[in-house]
Structure 1
Amino acid sequence: MMIARQPLNFWELTYGSTVGLGLRYLLFAGIAWLLGYWLFKQSWFHRKIIAKFPRPGEVWREVGYSALSMLIFGLVGAATVYATREGWTQMYRKISEYGLVWFWLSIGCAIVIHDGWFYWTHRLMHHRKLFRWFHRVHHLSHNPTPWAAYSFSPLEALVQALIFPVLVVVMPMHAYAFGLFMMWQIAFNIAGHMGYEFHPRWLMRSPLRYIVNTPTNHIMHHEKMRGNYGLYFNFWDRLMGTNHEEYERRFCEVTSREKVPFSKSPSTPVDSRCD
């Protein structure tokens, strides 16, 4: 006897997807906020890339736009679930269908694809005819906090959310692998907006500088409004010549600072080279 498949209620899916994404965002951004802006605000201050803190009104603006982005992400997430149910995607449920090796490889592939998607859509949204409609809201945060990670206009939130269905359309991906990728991208995005540089100074002396992106890279993008368009990796910016010309020097300056009293701004070291 066959059991009839229960119809999907799109709005219930949207509600569940929005709440799930919102709770994860609240957890990760809340932990980052607690660590960087409360518990270790003083002891980490020398690693604050922009050596000051934003006003409360700026933080609440980021929270408000992030909440709107969660709703749009929830809508796209619900549409992705619906498309999967209808057989329009390659998302699967049994790990044995493609094996454990592909389970983990698919997460790596998703990260690489998302990085390319982010770089090129990000550059496109900086076009003078698109910036106002898509990307201006995100750049209201000149000194971003963890809550700025998803502080998008509705149109940019839609662009960023479309990576979800793109991934499961272009390649097979287990539902749990997709969930792990989602956790990764939220955590990395929040870390990049946290405002602190946590990488060691020797990074710029190693080949990793050609691969790994840093919070300094992205905070400079908010500060300077040009260059540094990458997300997880630095190779697109290096390949396309879009790293800000002061990026490596700024990273070395931030990571060369000595601890100073919280009431004082970290001074620029006499020698801030990484070599």
Structure 2
Amino acid sequence: MGSRKNKRSRGGAGQTFDPMSVRWLEKHDGTISKIWNKIPVSGGHVIATFVTFLVGISVSGDWLGIFVNVGKQFGYIDREKTFILHDSPRKWSQLTLEDLYLQDVGKFVLISCAVSYSVYYGMGGFLHWYYYVRQRDRAEEWKCQPKKWITPELERHEIILGSMTLFVNSTIGGVLACYVANGGYSCIYYNISDYGWIWFFLQIPVVYIYMDYTTYWIHRIYHWPFLYKHFHKLHHKYKQPTAFSVTAIHPVESTNVQLLVITPVFLFPVHWGPFYAIVAYVYYHGIIDHSGIAFKAQWWQPWQPDAIFHDNHHQYFHVNFGFNMEIWDRIHGTYRKKDRVYTEDIFYGQGKSLSEISKSELEADMEERKSENPLAYRNNKNENQLTKNEIQKLKKNKSRS
């Protein structure tokens, strides 16, 4: 991302440590920068990418599930423990944790939470410093909305909300990992020969498409007026999202998404390797898409939208509902269009025609479009930007009406 030099434009020696704010990092920018500047630029990019991956798998709480299945694959955890369907029903009062395949569940949850919070604050704080402190004075080079920043109050809000949701995610992840470790029912398998090489590779697009299409719809449903007002609106306080925004979501909605993602392991045979590779990929891009940074998909990811796609969703609210494939929005007509206006009051992803809006609405929309960074788009060109002739024609028509 260019020069290593950094000009701090905010912060100060008077700042105190506040775990629910990232501002305290700025106080230590000089010390961190001295250490960081000793690392080669290429090595720095690798570290930042790896840290993003760690944050991605930790915020879901599914990292422990990966460890459990690796243990089962290589014999560190007994694979002989299997689910047994009892012939006679038993009363809930008679069931033990062992009967429910949840023996030592407290330890699993504790470990899950401890590691997730450590990564969230530690690695998440590093990502914030790497871009939002170290490169703040060069925002036009890397930020999706370089002239706009969320307030310190909102930064603190997203970390408080994210911390609450992270506890729920980590608890669910710990319980599920414990359940699988103790031989609870699932369709996870470990020997490729059980279902053959064809299914081993075929399950990758099957699981991936299932995850992405179902999350597209659950996300879109949470944008319906009632659910948006009571649940999802919390997440849309952040018009300029950061990496911390990914968990800053209502715990009810987050639980819906997490359970939806894990569902395949209870529906059809999935090898743990491809399944958790997809889970890691999905959550990694969850961090990327909420980062506010102009990340672009690699050449080998023709299906993956750039980060600006979801940044547009936060900026314009009810549009671009997909995550790792934009095709669902194109099919269902919820993909952002140049000739439409999108605001928080216009629901269902269709927007409003430029010919239907008032002059003041047009001016507000023009300001929003100007705040987008063209460098965040393919070929460094924002195709949603209106030309001067188009703007003049629209304003002329508004003046006549």
Contact 1:90–1:168 (CA under 8 A) maintained in structure 2: yes
Matched, 1:166 2:263: yes
Distance 1:156 1:175, change over 3 A: same
Contact 2:169–2:254 (CA under 8 A) maintained in structure 1: yes
Distance in 1 between the 2:217 and 2:313 partners?
15
Distance in 2 between the 1:117 and 1:27 partners?
31
Distance in 1 between the 2:115 and 2:261 partners?
15
2:111 corresponds to which of 3, 11, 16: 16
Between 1 and 2, higher relative CO (CA 8 Å, sep ≥ 6) is seen in 1
Distance 1:141 1:233, change over 3 A: same
TM-score under structure 2 length normalisation: 0.54
Deviation of the 1:118 alpha carbon:
1.3
- Count of residues in Structure 1 that have an aligned counterpart in Structure 2: 253
Map Cα deviations across residues 110-163 of structure 1 (whole Å, 9 max, x no partner): 332221121100110011111123211111111111100111111111112112
Q: Which runs of 5+ in 2 are unaligned?
A: 1-79, 82-96, 340-368, 389-401
Contact 2:240–2:315 (CA under 8 A) maintained in structure 1: yes
Of structures 1 and 2, the larger Rg is shown by 2
Distance in 2 between the 1:124 and 1:220 partners?
18
| 3-state SS in 2 of match to 1:137 | helix
Task: Tell me the equivalent position of 2:292.
Answer: 195
Contact 2:296–2:376 (CA under 8 A) maintained in structure 1: no
Distance in 2 between the 1:9 and 1:156 partners?
27
Give % identity.
Answer: 22
Matched, 1:126 2:223: yes
Distance in 2 between the 1:99 and 1:20 partners?
35
Opposite residue 112 of structure 2, the aligned amino acid is S
Contact 2:165–2:249 (CA under 8 A) maintained in structure 1: yes
1:227 corresponds to which of 303, 316, 319: 319
Matched, 1:216 2:311: no
Contact 2:145–2:373 (CA under 8 A) maintained in structure 1: no
Q: Which runs of 5+ in 1 are unaligned?
A: 259-267
Contact 1:133–1:155 (CA under 8 A) maintained in structure 2: no
1:91-170 aligned within 5 A = 91-98=188-195, 102-103=199-200, 105-170=202-267
Contact 2:295–2:376 (CA under 8 A) maintained in structure 1: no
1:241 corresponds to which of 333, 337, 340: 333
What value does the CA root-mean-square deviation take over the aligned residues? 3.5
Deviation of the 1:44 alpha carbon:
4.8
| 3-state SS in 2 of match to 1:220 | helix
Moved more, 141-150 or 71-80: 71-80
Task: Tell me the equivalent position of 1:54.
Answer: 150
